[in-house]
Chains A and B, each alone.
Chain A
């Protein structure tokens, strides 16, 4: 696997994909390691407000969050995100919310769509991989 991609192997059925990542304040360089859930159902990343406060991530706008019961107004922040194998994304938008289950971040389509993501079944089990920059097919 090339250095601009990473893979996670699973023995059996995948319930959720959790990846170890690092999140940074772009200006100060202060960062932390997190567990992040990959979620193609989110059009934007989500980060725990505890982490956002700890890293003093800049609060860059309020946006609408649409859900089953209506619309809420939430804050968005800017951060840098490092995936395994040092795949670095800067200028990433993430909304903040109260701490989420067993992970501190959700990786949404604003990151996922930047690369090639795949889930492949093979003899060993199931392999999830992500490659950046994406390989463009003809």
Chain B
């Protein structure tokens, strides 16, 4: 079923599943993924995005900051935002 998922969805699932071990290796770094593949870790988001765009093109890479809590892959919805805005 994963073949039907986008690379970004695959990367999100991979990051959540392996967050603990990724944080041990790359704590605080911006981690560049393409699907389940770890490409590299960078000090800045800008560097990671530049490489991601160059190597994989729009929508084919993901960048997550290696932090141990769910703020690394989730967002709290602002109360000012209506649910049907999503």
> A: which residues have CB within 8 A of B?
16, 26-27, 37, 39, 41-44, 46, 58-69, 71-76, 78, 90-91, 93, 95, 97-101, 106, 108
Separation of A108 and B71 alpha carbons in the complex (Å): 13
Residues of chain B within 8 A of A74, CB atoms compared: 75, 86
Asked whether, in the complex, the Cβ of B52 is within 8 Å of the Cβ of A60, the reply is: yes
The residue from A27, A61, A68, A108 contacting B78, defined by CB atoms under 8 A apart: A108
Asked whether, in the complex, the Cβ of A62 is within 8 Å of the Cβ of B49, the reply is: no
Asked whether, in the complex, the Cβ of A78 is within 8 Å of the Cβ of B46, the reply is: yes
With A60-B45, A60-B62 already in contact, 11 other A-B pairs whose C-beta atoms are closer than 8 Å: A39-B78, A46-B78, A58-B49, A59-B8, A60-B61, A71-B74, A90-B46, A93-B45, A97-B81, A100-B80, A100-B82
State the interface size on chain B (CB cutoff 8 A).
Answer: 34
Asked whether, in the complex, the Cβ of B8 is within 8 Å of the Cβ of A39, the reply is: no
Given the interface pairs A60-B52, A61-B63, A62-B9, the reply to whether A91 lies near B45 with Cβ below 8 Å is yes
The residue from A64, A73, A78 contacting B45, defined by CB atoms under 8 A apart: A78
